[in-house]
Amino acid sequence: MTTSNAASSPTGNAAELYGRISNDAELTQSLFRQALQDPSGALSRIVALGEQQGLPVSCEEVKAHLAGLDDGATKQWLLKARGGL
């Protein structure tokens, strides 16, 4: 199964975690608001969410995944939260 292979790699974990967060509008908005106030705290929260969901990621893996996305909304989020990322 390709999904379990992707989930076993750190990059796959970041992608899977991003997908889960993206599918939860309330969580997405909460993280966006937090990123505006406390960007590094939002990043730490994303890492903690990964641990809770069995998708361990590092801050660097999350940053790398986000930087590689071709998604206007994500890029706008990154611009606003750049200070902590």
Over residues 18-35, the pLDDT tens digits come to: 999 999 999 999 998 888
- Mean pLDDT for 50-62 is 94
- b/e map 7-24, b = 16+ CB within 10 Å: eeebebbbbbbbeebeee
Q: Tell me what pLDDT residue 63 has.
A: 85
Q: What is the count of structural domains for the chain?
A: 1
- Mean pLDDT for 54-64 is 92
Domain extent, residue 61, equals 2-81
| Residue 42 Ramachandran class (φ > 0 left, ψ -120 to 50 alpha, else beta) | alpha
Q: For residue 5, which amino acid is it?
A: N
Q: What is the CA radius of gyration of the chain?
A: 12
What pTM value is reported for the model? 0.76
